[in-house]
């Protein structure tokens, strides 16, 4: 047996990770670890930001023979002078300090008004996860060089004059990714090509080159048509069908007077609708690909829907009973969207998804009026689009028309939430419909598993008074109840098959408060409207859990007792009895159950489940006949009966005892 003492937990146990150590310890928090593409993308993004600002015309990515990757641009070059606060060369800070960068200062005064790099983490992560990283900067008539090893400076900054035949400004970063941090050291070529091509698309006029040093092969992308050419090309590859109507394209950016948006914020877009085939959807924020979409895509969806809906309504094209939803408009949409957002918030460092809330309003504000105007200028195309969208809506409605009971091999599958009983004797079996999962847990433990089954219900049940029978099973709770009971929904005049009935008693077990009463009424509405024969044959009951528990002390020969009270009236009666027995008012304590979930299994069995000690109220029509009951249910549960309900409440309001 080991006698090793556990390590002491003291002040010295707390370790602070300095510099780039956090990245090396948990690389997955900062980048994708499948392969090194993302850490190279960080360098490419920096070059793209220079191009976005209009300072760079050519980006060159080289896959070197020794496994390193170089990214070179002809931008302004990273500043190399001493940092005024840190007192080390600025280029060194960029590659060695987390949360250091030139993109935090927003607006027209900053070096980068719009950029993809925003966290100040990017290239320092590249450095941390590379065995070696070399930086060369051409700036202000000199060439500056420094090198890092595993994130630390190994060759300090040195400078020389620019030779006559050298370029005047720019940056080259060469990285040797450390294979120990990645599942595979090899970068996916298609992914790299896709990334570089998208940069060329989004930076019209900028040339992007990929060079393989080993083979000498070179690929160059330069799109003068920008987004339009890209979508046409990509759509042709993904689908053989032509767009239904001409491409809808546009761009709009906020000016200095724009309310609610920063100057320069906005979007460029190209949208195509096709009748079949695959759709192409690509979105970018400040040139950063966002494969997981985000709020800018939601803005485009909202804008397109608003414009199409307005056009359809203006021209009265919508058939009766059809309601358009955003997914009807968006289902057959292909698009390329490039948003410019001043201070975008991404989900995580890898920036796959945009989270900025304002981006929804930004993109929808600019796309909706533009499409609306375009559709009204090209009414024939607008009507063709409306036809496609309405067809989508009708198809959606048809598929939702009838929801059948879920079956497997022709037999209804019992719901997973049901805790069934062991007995097959229907006359003895009981099903408890329990409010809430926590009460369901207590009921499962407290029941007699021989003949008592438990089905927990989540939240309020649907008000099914005006629900069509063939739509009932669209509601999961009602579907599960019907399957568990073994009887299909039916009308009052129907003769349903009750041979599948699995329980002789179906007991509604809800809290003894206002919410619990509401759930009771909703369930009784369901049974009265859609399962009337179960009420007629006496299968429906209401369990009555107590609201109070009185802990009475021992008195005379009587030991200490736990007495349960159903309501206020019973509580008063118990207190009067205790006083008669000579117990002082302060000697007993009263606890109020907020809900069934507060009862433990033993209490629930004793008060509500045990056939010998519980109170179970059978449900029948009582003093009201079927017609009067129906009229009363209609007044209480009908959607258009608000005025009748109000009058009834005003008439009987004085009879209610408010549970406050």
Instruction: Tell me, yes or no, if 425 is annotated catalytic.
Output: no
Instruction: Tell me, yes or no, if 515 is annotated catalytic.
Output: yes
Residue among 420, 513, 570, 630 flagged as catalytic = 513
Tokens, residue 405: 């009971």
Strand 266-273 versus strand 281-285 pairing type = unpaired
- The partner residues of 563 in beta bridges, in order of sequence, read 550
- The partner residues of 281 in beta bridges, in order of sequence, read 335
DSSP annotation string for 542-591:
EE---SEEEEEPPBTTB--EEEEESSHHHHHHHHHHHHHTT--TTTSEEE
Instruction: Tell me, yes or no, if 513 is annotated catalytic.
Output: yes
DSSP, res 410? T
What is d(CA 89, CA 94) in angstroms, rounded to the nearest whole number?
9
Q: Calculate Rg over the CA atoms of the chain.
A: 36
Residue among 140, 515, 570, 598 flagged as catalytic = 515
Helix H, strand E, coil C: the string for 20-87 is: CHHHHHCHHHCCCCCCCHHHHHHHHHHHHHHHHCCCCCEEEEEECCCCCEEEEECCCCCCCCECCCCC
Tokens, residue 413: 């599958």
Do 270 and 98 form a contact (C-beta atoms < 8 A)? no
DSSP annotation string for 283-337:
EEETTEE-TT-BHHHHHHHHHHHHHHHHHHHHTT-PPTT----HHHHHTTEEEEE
Residue among 435, 488, 575, 606 flagged as catalytic = 435
What is d(CA 469, CA 478) in angstroms, rounded to the nearest whole number?
11
Residue among 49, 249, 358, 511 flagged as catalytic = 511
- The partner residues of 250 in beta bridges, in order of sequence, read 269
Instruction: Tell me, yes or no, if 435 is annotated catalytic.
Output: yes
What is d(CA 185, CA 416) in angstroms, rounded to the nearest whole number?
45
| Residues 275-293 as b or e (16 or more Cβ within 10 Å = b) | eeeebbebbbbbbbbbeeb
The burial class, CB within 10 Å (0-12 / 13-18 / 19+), for 630 is middle
**Residues carrying an active site annotation:** 435, 511, 513, 515
């Amino acid at each position: 047996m080991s006698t090793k003492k556990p390590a002491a937990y003291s002040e010295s146990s707390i370790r602070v990770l300095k510099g780039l150590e956090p990245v090396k310890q948990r690389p997955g928090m900062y980048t994708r670890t499948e392969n090194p593409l993302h850490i190279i993308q960080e360098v490419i993004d920096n070059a793209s930001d220079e191009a976005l600002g209009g300072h760079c015309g050519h980006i060159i990515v080289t896959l070197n023979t020794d496994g390193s990757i170089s990214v070179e641009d002809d931008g302004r070059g990273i500043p190399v002078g001493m940092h005024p606060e840190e007192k080390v060369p600025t280029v060194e800070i960029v590659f060695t300090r987390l949360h250091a960068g030139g993109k935090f200062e927003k607006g027209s005064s900053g070096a980068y008004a719009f950029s993809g790099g925003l966290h100040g983490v990017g290239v320092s992560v590249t450095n941390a996860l590379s065995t070696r990283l070399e930086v060369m900067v051409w700036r202000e008539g000199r060439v500056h060089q420094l090198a890092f090893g595993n994130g630390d400076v190994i060759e300090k900054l040195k400078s020389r004059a620019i030779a006559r035949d050298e370029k005047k400004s720019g940056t080259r970063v060469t990285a040797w990714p450390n294979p120990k941090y990645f599942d595979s050291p090899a970068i996916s070529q298609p992914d790299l090509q896709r990334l570089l091509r998208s940069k060329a698309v989004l930076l019209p006029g900028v040339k992007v080159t990929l060079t393989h040093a080993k083979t000498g092969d070179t690929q160059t992308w330069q799109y003068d048509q920008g987004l339009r050419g890209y979508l046409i090309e990509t759509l042709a590859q993904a689908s053989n069908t032509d767009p239904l109507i001409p491409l809808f394209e546009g761009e709009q950016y906020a000016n200095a007077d724009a309310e609610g948006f920063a100057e320069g914020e906005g979007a460029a877009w190209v949208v195509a609708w096709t009748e079949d085939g695959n759709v192409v959807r690509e979105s970018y924020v400040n040139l950063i690909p966002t494969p997981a979409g985000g709020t800018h895509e939601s803005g485009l969806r909202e804008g397109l829907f608003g414009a199409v809906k307005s056009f359809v309504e203006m021209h009265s094209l919508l058939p009766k009973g059809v309601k358009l939803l955003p997914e009807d408009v968006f289902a057959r949409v292909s698009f390329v969207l490039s948003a410019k957002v001043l201070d975008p918030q991404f989900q995580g460092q890898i920036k796959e998804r945009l989270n900025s809330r304002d981006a929804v309003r930004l993109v929808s504000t600019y796309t909706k009026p533009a499409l609306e105007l375009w559709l009204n200028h090209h009414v024939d195309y607008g009507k063709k689009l409306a036809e496609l969208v309405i067809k989508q809506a009708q198809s959606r409605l048809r598929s939702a028309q009838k929801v059948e009971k879920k079956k497997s091999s022709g037999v209804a599958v019992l719901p997973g939430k049901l805790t069934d009983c062991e007995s097959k004797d229907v006359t003895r079996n009981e099903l408890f419909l329990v409010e809430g999962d926590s009460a369901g847990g207590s009921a499962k433990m407290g029941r007699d598993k021989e003949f008592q089954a438990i089905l927990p219900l989540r939240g309020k049940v649907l008000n099914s008074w005006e629900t069509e029978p063939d739509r009932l099973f669209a509601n999961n709770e009602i579907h599960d109840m019907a399957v568990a009971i073994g009887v299909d929904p039916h009308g009052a005049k129907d003769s349903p098959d009750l041979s599948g009935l699995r329980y002789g008693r179906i007991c509604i077990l809800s809290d003894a408060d206002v919410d619990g009463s509401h759930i009771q009424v909703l369930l009784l509405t369901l049974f009265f409207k859609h399962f009337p024969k179960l009420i007629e044959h006496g299968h429906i009951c209401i369990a009555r859990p107590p609201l109070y528990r009185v802990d009475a002390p021992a008195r005379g020969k009587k030991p200490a007792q736990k007495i349960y009270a159903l309501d206020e009236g019973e509580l008063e009666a118990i207190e009067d009895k205790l006083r008669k027995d000579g117990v002082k008012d302060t000697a007993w304590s009263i606890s109020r159950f907020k809900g069934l979930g507060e009862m433990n299994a033993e209490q629930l069995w004793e008060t509500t489940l045990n056939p010998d000690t519980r109170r179970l109220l059978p449900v029948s029509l009582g003093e009201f006949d079927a017609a009067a009951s129906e009229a009363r249910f209609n007044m209480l549960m009908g959607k258009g009966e608000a005025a009748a309900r109000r009058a009834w409440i005003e008439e009987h309001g004085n009879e209610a005892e408010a549970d406050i």
